[in-house]
């Protein structure tokens, strides 16, 4: 069963997605029909692949990008749109794992990721409703206290002036829910329309000479110099190849598949909230809570609540996504009980055991960037920049730093990983439910 096709129509974005309904879609790119050669071949047309392609094309490198479906088809065009601060791991835990020097380097790389996204949007005039501010709110007093300690830790260690602690009273004024006890607000973080952003990257790449091919799934890779990528229609020879597949890798590269697992996540968009009693946020920021299975939400530019939550670990999406997501939505915002859900969609992302991206030089001319674990707006875009810099021999320190983060395979390898993860995630879901 292939995740590229099991939940979606071929050559179409999800038709029940608010993102699809509110984007200026591109004309389709043709598939590869004849044998071609390039300096760099990129597999995957999401944030990571398009960012790498854009930076390489700007430098004059002959680059092709191969997308099995449509650019932005995967997680890049379906996610919560949060450009979060830091790495996916808590910075304190990350420092314990890798040490002070590398830990601090990884923090500043995450800061550069935010700047990279903002600069790409500004430089290429991408209209994706970029807005500042992401709040992390605690579901308990203990979790809120830890968030406040975290803010203090970050401000003291990195001399930051862009983090505000949020008290219980401030949280209640900001977010009209009794579920939260306070938290922190990252003012340098941001939120955006993810599909409009990824389509903007594709437009920019094409303008600078990036050759983009859709409906071109890579079926086999023959390693060597050059690398040969085989499709059902043609072969592509390249000096370098970049794997930027995230949750849609399949069996293309076993070394990556053992460490990056696909899971599904779901989002709904309500009808426009025009009644005062339906107010949920008093500021135009995004929110993510402290549950292990994170609930995240923000308001759209047309006054809808975009709410993401719940996960699944099988291949198929649930038959009624709206009903599934409505459960945590109403727990947080019971005042929306009479509100209609106009859109409901799912997406597949790639996670790692430690929730840190998986960067790896698979050989002298093969690079992997994937496993962004729900933090991909910034991390995946930045990964594309870092791998491009490495191939261009400009600066490999960023890529090498990310590659130094210890990565462990899922227990049982790619064949047994899913059942084991389901058991673990079920436990965490129960913990969230009962406040354990």
What pLDDT digit, counting tens, does each position of 364-386 carry?
999 999 999 999 999 999 999 99
Q: In the Cβ-directed half-sphere of 360, how many Cα atoms lie within 13 Å? A: 19
How many angstroms separate the CA atoms of 347 and 247, rounded?
Answer: 10
Pick the closest to residue 289 from 270, 306, 308, 271 (CA basis). Answer: 308
How many angstroms separate the CA atoms of 248 and 86, rounded?
Answer: 25
How many angstroms separate the CA atoms of 377 and 85, rounded?
Answer: 11
* pLDDT category of residue 310 using cuts at 50, 70 and 90: confident
pLDDT at 414: 58
Secondary structure letter of residue 281 according to DSSP: B
Percent of the chain past pLDDT 70, that is, above it, reads 94
Task: Determine if residue 373 is left, alpha or beta; phi over 0 gives left, psi from -120 to 50 gives alpha, anything else beta.
Answer: left
pLDDT at 2: 84
What pLDDT digit, counting tens, does each position of 55-94 carry?
999 999 999 999 999 999 999 999 999 999 999 999 999 9
DSSP per-residue letters across 361-391: EEETTEEEEE--TT-HHHHHHHHHHHHHHHH
How many angstroms separate the CA atoms of 380 and 27, rounded?
Answer: 24
How many angstroms separate the CA atoms of 84 and 81, rounded?
Answer: 9
Q: How far is CA 342 from CA 81, 87, 195, 332, in A?
A: 18, 33, 18, 19
| Averaged pLDDT for residues 104-130 | 98
pLDDT for 169 beyond 60 = yes
| Averaged pLDDT for residues 194-203 | 98
pLDDT for 427 beyond 70 = no
Pick the closest to residue 327 from 315, 341, 314 (CA basis). Answer: 341
| Tokens (6 digits) for 323 | 């009903």
How many angstroms separate the CA atoms of 62 and 150, rounded?
Answer: 44
Domains of the chain by residue range: 131-191+262-349
* pLDDT category of residue 428 using cuts at 50, 70 and 90: very low
Dihedral pair phi/psi, residue 211, rounded to 5° = -90, 115
pLDDT for 198 beyond 50 = yes
Q: Which of 61-75, 233-247, 348-362, 401-415 has the lowest mean pLDDT?
A: 401-415
Judge contact between 409 and 415, C-beta under 8 A.
Answer: no
pLDDT at 124: 98
pLDDT at 421: 53
What pLDDT digit, counting tens, does each position of 230-281 carry?
999 999 999 999 999 999 998 899 999 999 989 899 999 999 999 989 999 9
**Mean pLDDT score of the chain:** 93
Pairing of the two strands 82-83 and 183-191: antiparallel
pLDDT for 54 beyond 90 = yes
DSSP per-residue letters across 222-245: E-SSSEEEE-SS-EEEEEEEEE--
Q: Dihedral through CA 102, CA 118, CA 384, CA 285, nearest 10?
A: 80
Q: What is the largest CA-CA distance in the chain?
A: 64
pLDDT for 416 beyond 90 = no
How many angstroms separate the CA atoms of 298 and 417, rounded?
Answer: 33
| Tokens (6 digits) for 66 | 């191969």
Choose which CATH entry (3.40.50.1860, 3.90.470.10, 3.40.50.150, 3.30.9.10) describes domain 131-191+262-349: 3.30.9.10
């Amino acid at each position: 069963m292939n995740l590229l096709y099991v939940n979606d129509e071929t050559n179409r974005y999800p038709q029940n997605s608010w993102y699809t309904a509110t984007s200026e879609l591109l004309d389709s790119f043709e598939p590869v029909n004849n044998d071609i050669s390039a300096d760099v071949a990129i597999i995957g047309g999401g944030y990571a692949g398009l960012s790498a392609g854009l930076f390489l094309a700007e430098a004059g490198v002959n680059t092709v990008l191969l997308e099995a479906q449509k650019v932005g088809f995967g997680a890049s065009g379906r996610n919560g749109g949060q450009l979060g601060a830091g790495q996916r791991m808590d910075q304190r835990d990350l420092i314990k794992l890798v040490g002070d020097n590398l830990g601090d380097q990884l923090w500043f790389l995450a800061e550069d990721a935010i700047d990279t996204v903002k600069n790409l949007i500004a430089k290429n005039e991408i209209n994706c409703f970029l807005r500042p501010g992401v709040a992390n709110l605690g579901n308990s007093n203990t979790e809120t206290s830890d968030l406040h300690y975290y803010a203090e830790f970050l401000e003291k260690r990195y001399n930051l002036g862009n983090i505000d602690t949020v008290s219980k009273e401030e949280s209640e004024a900001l977010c009209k829910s009794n579920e939260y006890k306070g938290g922190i607000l990252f003012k340098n973080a941001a939120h955006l329309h993810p599909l409009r952003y990824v389509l903007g990257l594709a437009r920019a790449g094409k303008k600078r000479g990036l050759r983009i091919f859709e409906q071109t799934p890579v079926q086999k890779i023959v390693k060597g110099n050059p690398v040969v990528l085989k499709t059902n229609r043609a072969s592509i020879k390249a000096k370098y190849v970049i794997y930027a597949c995230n949750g849609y890798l399949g069996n293309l590269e076993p070394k990556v598949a053992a460490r990056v697992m696909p899971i599904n996540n779901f989002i709904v968009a309500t009808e426009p909230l025009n009644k005062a009693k339906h107010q949920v946020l008093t500021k135009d920021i995004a929110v993510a809570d402290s549950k292990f299975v994170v609930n995240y939400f923000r308001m759209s530019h047309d006054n809808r609540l975009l709410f993401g939550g719940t996960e699944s670990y099988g291949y198929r999406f649930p038959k009624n996504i709206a009903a599934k997501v409505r459960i945590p939505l109403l727990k947080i915002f019971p005042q929306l009980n009479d509100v209609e859900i106009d859109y409901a969609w799912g997406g597949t992302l790639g996670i790692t055991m430690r929730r840190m991206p998986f960067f790896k030089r698979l050989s002298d001319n093969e690079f992997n960037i994937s496993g962004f674990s729900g933090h991909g707006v910034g991390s995946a875009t930045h990964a594309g920049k870092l791998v491009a810099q490495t191939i261009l021999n400009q600066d490999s320190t960023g890529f090498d730093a990310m590659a130094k983060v210890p990565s462990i395979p899922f227990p049982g390898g790619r064949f047994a990983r899913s059942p084991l993860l389901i058991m673990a995630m079920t436990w965490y879901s129960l913990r969230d439910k009962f406040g354990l």
